[in-house]
Amino acid sequence: MRQCLVCGGADVAVYLDDADDSLDTSKMGSSRTRLSPGTILRCQSCGFGFRQSRFGEKQLADLYRGMDTKVYQAELRGRIRTASRHLRILNQNAHRNGGGGELLDVGCASGIFLAQALDAGWRVTGLEPSEALYQEAKERIGSRGTILPLILEEASFGEQRFNAVTLWDVLEHVVEPTNLMRKCGELLKPGGLLLLNVPDLDSLEARLLGRRWPLLLPEHLNYFNRTSLKLCGQRSALEWLRFGRRRSYFSIEYVLYRLSQHRVPLAGLLSKIAGGAIGHLMVPVSLGETYAVFRRRESGGFSVVGRPTAASEGQ
């Protein structure tokens, strides 16, 4: 594939040349034991980056269902604090938009964010393909909300529409990011919000760390900058409202573990000696992500279908 998924441009160049291994569960999620992000191409027009070898939606869904989640779940304290930041972003923007209502979290993981949203007065629905995380989310939410063991492409909501849809750490994993954003937009009430965060190739962290950037991962199919992300919204009949940065919380032990996977100097040695109270300390980490807020236009339709071509865009 040499055509940009976002703008349709054919002027793409190699951003990272790495082994394009097949994807399996040993390379996915926080418990991954192998790290090869594959060959990543970048569009010279809009800045969108994408893994050259792609995978089918069903193949990816099956892999996520069987993914090892032990390391992910071990970082519970940090994920609770990160979810609190997500909720703050949601509530701040929902307040400007009238506040509260029906919330759909796509890729809800273990349901931490949804549990906090429930406590803040939202009525919640979550989708999570990982069997282990789905079971944990279902137990955490109980009868207070709805959790489905599905990806968005498998879900059907009939006439139900939402005041907000969230895609925390999701858009980088999907085969067709613009199509997913369009589906989310179709599920929004007029004026409803779509909130998401993605790896940003133009972030300071990505530029400084190069191939050692911790967000260069085997399961990441897509990498954005603010230009390409804004364009995804336009292709999806969504109005861009704002961008921002948000930090995630992890234990020192986990941070060093991840850095050692990317061969950051001294990280492996420090990872071995970090332990006890120091290793379990939670720290805020800026990974080089951008969050974005989009709004469904009050009268906007969803007439855009398929992927644009360079010719259709006058390029």
Under 8 Å between Cβ of 291 and 224: no
Tokens of 70: 């032990």
Topology of domain 12-296, per CATH? Answer: Rossmann fold (3.40.50)
Q: What is the pTM of this model?
A: 0.86
pLDDT of residue 272: 63
Average pLDDT over residues 197-221: 93
Average pLDDT over residues 197-213: 95
4, HSE (Cβ side, Cα atoms, 13 Å): 28
Beta bridge partners, 296, equal 238
Rounded CA gap, 37 and 308, in Å?
Answer: 26
pLDDT of residue 313: 30
Rounded CA gap, 243 and 259, in Å?
Answer: 27
Which residues have C-beta within 8 Å of that of residue 67, sequence separation ≥ 6? 25, 28, 29, 31, 130, 132
| 172-194 tens-digit pLDDT | 999 999 999 999 999 999 999 99
| 23-61 tens-digit pLDDT | 766 666 655 666 788 899 999 999 999 999 887 777 777
Rounded CA gap, 299 and 313, in Å?
Answer: 24
Where exactly are the structural domains of the chain?
Answer: 12-296
- How would DSSP label each residue in 263-280? T-TTHHHHHHH--HHHHT
First to last CA, the chain: 18
SS3 of the chain: helix, strand, coil, percent, to 5: 35, 25, 40
pLDDT of residue 301: 46
Question: Per-residue pLDDT for 122 more than 50?
Answer: yes
The conformation of residue 22, written as its DSSP 8-state character, comes to P
Q: How confident is the model at residue 274 (pLDDT cuts 50, 70, 90)?
A: low
